[in-house]
């Protein structure tokens, strides 16, 4: 149950909103507080803030830079080569006894390398041109910036947004020194460490005349795709007291009001936007071209971003629509986790706006802004010089891309200003804005027509300047020597909190990582925190651990403009004081005694192996990850490198660190905790405890829980005063199975491959098209593997055991899930302790996870091929199968974990609502929810062991492996470590689990409510119903795949196809419906269609004859009406083809056809956009593989006043697919989206691992190689009729549909009964009206208004 983690990161991460990962790696996640996304719709969104790669292993920055002299351009490659030679010269002087070109470490161990001498590897890499365009050798390419008259941006100390390219002119040229004395060596080391890190060789940057900066990075993963992000340097900290939330409001209105962005949706593009403290970012992920387009799509993407950023239409109807959405979003995100984040930020940044200016804003202010107020804020901050454009993707011609940027954005923001128009009154933005922002009286010129851009001579163009400091706030730093008395701990209490948490923050300025010395400090911090993580994680493994988790994190935050070190402790409330004592005690011990020599060697080598592994992935990093990394590090001012540069620099600095320096860094990093209260120590920026108001006490139930600030301070002092001892060294095994042991196993069990099919006699089945190999071992274990070189020198492996929680008997509910957790908690195999196993994984860079689902038990390994990493992973798998040690204390921890999970359900609105819905739909079957305290109490160590290990029989297991290995390597590991596994568990117990069924209908539990008392109002709802499984089986028994192929309808259609002589269509139609993956394909397309956002287009974007546009409208009223039509709620759909008002406005003859007019209404568009009932709604399918059932779920968040209407609207959309027919373009768009997703994912090992799953599993008999080979053709072949065949298998009628509404608020003590009246649109039609009447009535009302 107890876990710990520690990380150091130089990427943007808000410390109190991170997600931890055991293993000592860096991590980061978008803060619930500091970032707000505009569009949660899954199919139309890109995750806004992904975890950025480590800067210490970093990648990204500039190919060329101006050296400060006009017209002078110098390549970084030349500088990098010079510096590498100097680095080699330096190390040779330090160690003259080493052979020429070798590299020896200064610390107590040697770093192993794979590819020869340091200088040889470096010069070899950079003598080969790896770019798609030979920039170094092509002079015309080198001068493209000058050709377009677009100069690169100069980078100043107060401009962290552009990547620095400064480089020292001095060189290290001391010759003839063979042996250096200590003083000279120290000087040489200091000189070496002062050099700047190299910059990314492929990254281009520039600046337009109007001030817009741009950064371009070619990257071919995924191929034929591009990421374009427009970053506007304005956020919530720029808002005045009466503008809280307006930056986020503009993000919504500008983004979702853009017609050009909407037009891109049909191309397979995805888009989204987010707002944080001081950035607003609009991003589009797009194909570079489509089969329907004549050329490059990038100009259209840029044009959409230009419209969104500089030319938005602030229509009153759009403003009102987004106002409703934001108010719903505010309630949706107001979870207890969000409120905890807010409290932590308030105390961490109590001295500035970051503690109070949360991007979501204040409800009372959001309700009152009009269009003029919103437009004025936009005019104040949205100008080119305050923006940076990032383009990362499959770009082959940089010069052409720069030309496109100039063509689209060159005229943006130029505004007309005369002497008379200068403002005469003081600006009202506040003192900071007065200093930073020039005063202008008019808005953006980007809204002017082309005719208006002809400026008279007496007028002049002016350009706003960029704001220098981001974010524009000041901090109270936690620095030593200030002699500040620490503030008392702050306490946040709430009835919805389940656990106690303790947070201690230290806030310091960001130290830019630009030199080798900076990178060296990052490496040393990682070593310190990795050592602390491992110590805590392994020392406190008792049956009743004093804490749930302890994390120590050091992160640079670009959103907050500071670096924060955070100690976070979580614990059961009754153990809170012991948890604080342990955390402070361990931090103090590390600060006083430092890391050991073994820890230094172990974690430094692990970092270098990880670095080398990432460097090998240089050509496989997705563009969105690269872009996120560049954006965050540019904001922080870090030097951006590619992965190979990062690894080479890391190796160079690793050879210079010493144990004394690492421990000096340790003392500095941990001083604010270990010396808490001392006058000389840094004072914490904040100490915050989050405490539940009530806790569960065995035998007493819920009781009041109170602690004070003085008690927390006393617990900290107790940890500081406890006696400490130095850490002892730990022996780490080189192998879990030695060579003699392996030889003995092979002699005893004689592993071999056996025929997969007794009839064929072949022991190896290889499919040339997919590259998949199938094998079966003599002990019965089937193995699938695929050799893949897309992820260099890496591999993944997955063991799947059929059974899972479905095999739990009625007497032992929870046995499987608790048993799997027990194995994970114990961590012991054979004679090796948990500590030794974990360090074995650290040394071999193995990431291992063990999990259970309703159908399977799954164990997954990620490994590197270096240093026998694959053999080490196979050894660990063998030991888990053969030598797992089941421990009583691990069982108790596992049981406590699930007991805590169950008791947390009533304190979460979403979890309690889902729990009640699932229990109702599945007739109270506990196997699909958390086990109850009664069930947990009935379990024993032996019962959970039997429940798990009885499933681990060879014939019930399947192993799949994907990676960069050879046939010989993988088959040797398979025979050695899987072939020597016993075929069955020693004491097999037969289980006869009860069948899984849906509750008989109708039932009084089909509509339920959950009422949760809370200080704030919120609401959510879930709607669910039965569906078949992935292979067409249902809980009622019929085989749907067989029934649709024997139906009379099929025969009639076949006869029709034959009579029409359309043999090809007949064959294709027959093949897809008889294919075992038919329901998997069609259900996936159906879900994509239901979730898709509707398209509303006048004319066709690509090639189809267009209707008349606004250029053909003569009067202003016509143009206003056309704008209204563009903003028309989209469900009014197809009627507008024939509506008389429309035809009159567009001056169409009765015979004219609006050929490109497409409009359809689905879930997101109806419930969110048109009706304003939610911020987020989605449709998901759970299609099982082994179990003969599935279900669908619609999840929707809303307000208590609207949630009933939202549920009704969701039901109507779900049931309305027959009346509101799926059209061909919808299906084509869904196909394109899924196929593009497949084409991108197929480059990854993890995706192939999923494709290989169940290929030889007897429990999933319909899965075979055709399901992988035919997937793309099945998507292409699917028809609308196929989609409706799948749709008809969903039970959406009242007798089968289940819904549960959850409402939280102060007044929830009163039971809510009944449903709201049937939903009506304003002015309008009831939902039960016929489609045509409804549409005509609504459109008439809308147009006549």
- H or E segment and range at residue 6: strand 3-12
User: Please, are residues 636 and 12 in contact by the beta-carbon 8 Å criterion?
Assistant: yes
Tokens of 1038: 């019929």
Q: What are phi and psi of 1019, to 5 degrees?
A: -155, 150
Residue given tokens 């000087």 in the structure block: 187
Query: For residues 1127, 1128, 1130 and 1136, what is the CA-based torsion angle, rounded to 10 degrees?
Result: -130
763 cis-preceded (ω within 30 degrees of 0): no
Tokens of 756: 């997969």
Residue given tokens 């008395």 in the structure block: 485
Tokens of 349: 């940044």
First-residue to last-residue Cα distance in the chain = 63
- H or E segment and range at residue 672: helix 659-674
**What's the count of helices (H) and strands (E) in the chain, helices before strands?**
44, 31
C-alpha angle 893-896-898 in degrees, rounded to nearest 5: 115
Tokens of 906: 């009533």
3-class secondary structure per residue, 1125-1161? HHCCCHHHHHHHHCCHHHHHHCCCCCCCCCCCCECCC
Q: Kind of pairing, strands 562-571 and 549-557?
A: antiparallel
Query: For residues 434, 437, 442 and 447, what is the CA-based torsion angle, rounded to 10 degrees?
Result: -150
Give 487's contacts (C-beta < 8 A, 6+ positions apart): 683, 684, 686, 687
Q: How far is CA 141 from CA 419, 525, 685, 719, in A?
A: 43, 41, 50, 63
State the Cα–Cα distance between residues 1195 and 1179, nearest whole angstrom: 7
Give 792's contacts (C-beta < 8 A, 6+ positions apart): 616, 617, 619, 620, 964
Nearest to 642 by CA among 606, 609, 611, 605: 611
The secondary structure of 222-261 as a DSSP string is STTEEEEEEEES--GGG--TT-TTHHHHHHHHHHHT-HHH
Which three-class secondary structure state does DSSP give residue 329?
Answer: helix
State the Cα–Cα distance between residues 389 and 231, nearest whole angstrom: 6
Q: Is 322 a catalytic residue?
A: yes
Active-site residue identified among 322, 329, 671, 926: 322
Check residue 860 and give left, alpha or beta (phi > 0: left; psi -120 to 50: alpha).
beta
CA 246 to chain centre: 26
| 1260-1290 CB burial, b ≥16 within 10 A, e <16 | bebbebebbebbeebbebbbeebbbbbbebb
Give 1130's contacts (C-beta < 8 A, 6+ positions apart): 1094, 1095, 1096, 1159, 1160, 1161, 1165, 1169, 1170
Q: How far is CA 514 from CA 81, 88, 614, 634, 666, in A?
A: 17, 20, 20, 11, 21
Active-site residue identified among 231, 239, 243, 251: 251
Residue given tokens 């670009």 in the structure block: 558
Tokens of 35: 């970032």
Tokens of 898: 């699930």
State the Cα–Cα distance between residues 896 and 887, nearest whole angstrom: 14
Q: Tally the C-alpha atoms within 13 A of residue 1155's C-alpha that lie toward its C-beta.
A: 9
Q: Point out the residues that are catalytic.
A: 251, 322
């Amino acid at each position: 149950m107890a876990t710990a983690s520690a990380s150091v990161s130089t990427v943007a991460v808000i410390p109190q909103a991170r997600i931890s990962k055991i293993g000592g790696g860096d991590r980061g996640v978008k803060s619930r507080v500091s970032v707000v996304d505009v569009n949660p719709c899954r199919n139309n969104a890109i995750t806004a803030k992904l975890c950025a790669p480590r800067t210490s292993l970093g990648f990204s920055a500039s190919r060329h830079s101006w050296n400060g002299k006009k017209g002078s351009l110098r390549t970084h490659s030349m500088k990098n080569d010079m510096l590498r030679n100097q680095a080699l010269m330096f190390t040779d002087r330090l160690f003259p006894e080493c052979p020429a070109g070798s590299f020896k470490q200064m610390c107590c161990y040697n770093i192993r390398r794979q590819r020869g001498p340091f200088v040889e590897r470096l010069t070899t890499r950079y003598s080969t041109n790896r770019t798609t365009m030979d920039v170094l050798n092509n002079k015309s390419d080198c001068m493209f910036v000058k050709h377009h008259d677009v100069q690169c941006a100069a980078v100043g100390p107060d401009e962290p947004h552009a990547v620095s390219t400064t480089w020292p002119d001095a060189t290290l040229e001391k010759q003839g020194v063979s042996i250096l004395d200590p003083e000279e060596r120290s000087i040489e080391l200091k000189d070496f460490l002062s050099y700047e890190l190299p910059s990314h060789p492929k990254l281009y940057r520039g600046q337009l005349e109007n001030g817009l900066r741009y950064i371009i990075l070619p990257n071919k993963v995924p191929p034929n795709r591009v990421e374009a992000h427009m970053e506007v340097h304005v956020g919530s900290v720029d808002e005045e007291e009466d503008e809280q939330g307006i930056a986020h409001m503009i993000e919504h209105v500008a983004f979702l009001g853009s017609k050009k962005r909407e037009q891109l949706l049909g191309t397979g593009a995805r888009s989204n936007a987010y707002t944080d403290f001081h950035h607003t970012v609009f991003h589009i992920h797009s194909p570079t071209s489509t089969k329907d387009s004549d050329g490059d799509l990038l100009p259209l993407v840029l044009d959409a971003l230009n419209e969104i950023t500089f030319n938005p239409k602030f229509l009153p109807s759009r403003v009102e629509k987004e106002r409703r959405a934001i108010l719903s979003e505010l309630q949706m995100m107001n979870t207890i986790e969000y409120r905890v984040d807010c409290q932590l930020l308030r105390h961490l940044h109590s001295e500035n706006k970051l503690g109070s200016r949360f991007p979501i804003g204040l409800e009372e202010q959001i309700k009152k802004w009009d269009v003029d107020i919103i437009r004025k804020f936009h005019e104040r901050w949205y100008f080119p010089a305050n923006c940076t454009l990032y383009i990362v993707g499959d770009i082959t011609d940089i010069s052409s891309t720069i030309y496109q940027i100039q063509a689209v954005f060159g005229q943006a923001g130029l505004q007309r200003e005369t002497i008379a128009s200068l403002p005469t009154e003081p600006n009202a933005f506040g003192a900071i804005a007065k200093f930073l922002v020039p005063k202008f009286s008019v808005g953006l010129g980007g809204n002017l027509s082309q005719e208006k851009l002809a400026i008279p001579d007496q007028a002049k163009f002016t350009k706003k300047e960029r704001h220098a400091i981001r974010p524009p706030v000041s901090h109270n730093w936690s620095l030593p020597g200030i002699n500040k008395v620490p503030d008392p701990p702050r306490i946040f209490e709430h009835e919805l909190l389940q656990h106690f948490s303790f947070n201690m923050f230290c806030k310091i300025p960001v130290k830019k990582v630009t030199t080798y010395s900076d990178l060296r400090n990052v490496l040393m911090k990682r070593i310190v925190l990795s050592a602390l993580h491992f110590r805590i994680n392994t020392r406190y493994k008792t049956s009743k651990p004093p804490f749930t988790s302890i994390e120590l994190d050091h992160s640079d935050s670009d959103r907050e403009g500071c670096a924060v070190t955070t100690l976070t402790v979580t614990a059961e409330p009754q153990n809170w004081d012991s948890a604080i004592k342990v955390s402070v005690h361990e931090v103090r011990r590390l600060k006083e005694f430092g890391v050991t020599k073994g820890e230094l060697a172990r974690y430094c080598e692990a970092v270098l192996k990880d670095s080398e592994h990432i460097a090998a992935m240089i050509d496989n990093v997705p563009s969105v990850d690269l872009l996120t990394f560049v954006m965050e590090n540019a904001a922080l001012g870090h030097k951006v490198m590619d992965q190979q540069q990062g690894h080479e620099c890391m190796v160079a600095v690793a050879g210079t660190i010493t144990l004394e320096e690492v421990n000096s860094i340790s003392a500095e990093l941990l001083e604010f905790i270990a010396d808490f209260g001392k006058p000389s120590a840094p004072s914490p920026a904040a100490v915050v405890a989050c405490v539940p108001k009530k806790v569960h006490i065995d035998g007493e139930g819920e009781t009041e829980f109170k602690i004070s600030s003085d008690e927390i301070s006393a617990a900290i002092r107790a940890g500081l005063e406890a006696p400490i001892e130095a850490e002892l060294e730990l022996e780490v095994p080189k192998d879990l199975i030695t060579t003699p042991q392996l030889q003995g196993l092979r002699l005893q069990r004689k592993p071999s491959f056996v025929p997969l099919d007794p009839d064929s006699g072949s022991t190896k089945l290889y499919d040339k098209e997919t590259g998949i190999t199938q094998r079966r071992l003599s002990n019965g274990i089937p193995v699938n593997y695929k050799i893949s070189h897309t992820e260099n020198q890496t591999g993944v492996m997955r063991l799947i055991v059929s059974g899972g929680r479905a095999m739990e008997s009625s007497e032992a509910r929870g046995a499987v899930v608790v048993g799997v957790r027990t194995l994970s908690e114990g961590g012991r195999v054979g004679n090796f302790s948990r500590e030794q196993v974990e360090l074995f994984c650290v040394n071999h860079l193995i990431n291992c996870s063990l999990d259970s689902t309703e159908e399977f038990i799954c164990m997954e390994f990620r490994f590197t091929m270096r240093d026998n990493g694959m053999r080490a992973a196979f050894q660990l798998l063998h030991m888990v199968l053969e030598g797992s040690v089941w421990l009583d204390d691990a069982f108790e921890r596992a049981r406590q974990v699930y007991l805590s999970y169950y008791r947390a359900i009533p304190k979460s609105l979403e979890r309690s609502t889902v729990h009640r819905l699932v229990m109702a739909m599945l007739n109270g079957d506990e196997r699909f929810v958390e086990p109850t305290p009664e069930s947990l109490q009935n379990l024993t160590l032996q019962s959970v062991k039997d429940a798990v290990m009885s499933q681990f029989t060879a014939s019930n297991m399947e192993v799949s492996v994907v990676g960069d290995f050879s046939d010989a390597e993988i088959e040797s590991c398979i025979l050695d470590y899987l072939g020597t596994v016993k075929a069955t568990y020693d004491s097999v117990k037969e289980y006869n689990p009860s069948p899984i069924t849906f509750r008989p209908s109708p039932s009084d539990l089909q509509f339920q409510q959950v009422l949760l008392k809370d200080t704030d109002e919120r609401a959510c709802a879930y709607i669910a119903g039965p569906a078949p499984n992935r292979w067409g089986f249902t809980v009622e028994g019929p085989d749907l795949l067989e029934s649709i192929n024997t139906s009379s309808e099929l025969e009639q259609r076949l006869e029709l196809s034959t009579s029409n002589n359309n043999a090809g269509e007949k064959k294709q139609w027959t093949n897809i419906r008889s294919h075992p993956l038919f329901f998997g394909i069609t259900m996936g397309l159906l879900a994509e269609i239901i979730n898709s956002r509707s398209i509303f287009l006048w004319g066709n974007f690509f090639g189809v004859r267009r209707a008349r546009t606004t250029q053909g409208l003569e009067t202003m009223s016509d143009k206003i009406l056309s704008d209204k039509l563009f903003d028309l709620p989209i469900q009014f759909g197809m009627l507008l083809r024939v509506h008389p008002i429309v035809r009159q406005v567009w001056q169409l003859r009765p015979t004219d056809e609006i050929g490109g007019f497409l409009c359809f209404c689905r879930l997101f568009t109806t419930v969110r956009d048109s009706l304003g009932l939610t911020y987020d709604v989605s449709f998901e399918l759970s299609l099982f593989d082994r179990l003969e059932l599935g279900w669908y779920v619609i999840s929707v968040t809303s307000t208590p006043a609207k949630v009933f209407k939202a549920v009704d609207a969701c039901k109507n959309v779900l049931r309305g697919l027959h009346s509101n027919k799926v059209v061909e373009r919808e299906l084509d768009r869904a196909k394109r989206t899924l196929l593009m997703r497949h084409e991108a994912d197929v480059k990854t090992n993890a995706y192939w691992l999923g494709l290989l799953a169940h290929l030889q599993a007897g429990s999933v008999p319909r899965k075979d190689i055709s399901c992988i080979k035919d997937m793309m053709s099945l998507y292409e072949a699917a028809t609308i009729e196929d989609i409706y065949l799948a749709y008809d298998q969903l039970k959406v009628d009242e007798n089968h549909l289940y819904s549960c509404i959850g409402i939280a608020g102060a007044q929830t003590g009163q039971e809510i009964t009944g449903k709201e009246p049937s939903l009506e649109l304003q002015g309008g039609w009831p939902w039960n009206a016929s489609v045509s009447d409804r549409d005509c009535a609504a459109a008439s009302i809308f147009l006549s208004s």
